Structure 1
Amino acid sequence: MFTLSSSVEYTLEIKKSRFLGRVEPVASRAEALAVIDTLRAAHPDAAHVCWALLAGGNSGMSDDGEPSGTAGRPMLEVLRHHDLDGVLASVVRYYGGVKLGAGGLVRAYTDAVAGALVGAVKTERIAMTLLSLTLPYADENRVRHWAQQQGFEVVAASHAAAVTLTISLPQAAEAASLRALTDLTSGRLRHIGTPD
Structure 2
Amino acid sequence: MPAALDALASLRERWRASATPVPVVAPVPTPWRGVRVRLAETWQLFPQSALDAVIPCPAVSRIPGTRPFVMGVASWQGGLIPVLSGECLFGLADAPGPARGYALVVRRRGFHFALTTAELRGPLTLAEEAFTESIPPTAPRAEWCSGSVEFGGQVLAVVDIDRLLSDPRLSDTVLPRPCSEESLS
Q: TM-score range, shorter-chain basis?
A: under 0.3
Of Structure 1 and Structure 2, which has the larger fraction of its residues in helix?
A: 1
Of Structure 1 and Structure 2, which has the larger fraction of its residues in strand?
A: 2
The TM-score with structure 2 as length reference comes to 0.24
| Higher Rg | 2
The TM-score with structure 1 as length reference comes to 0.23
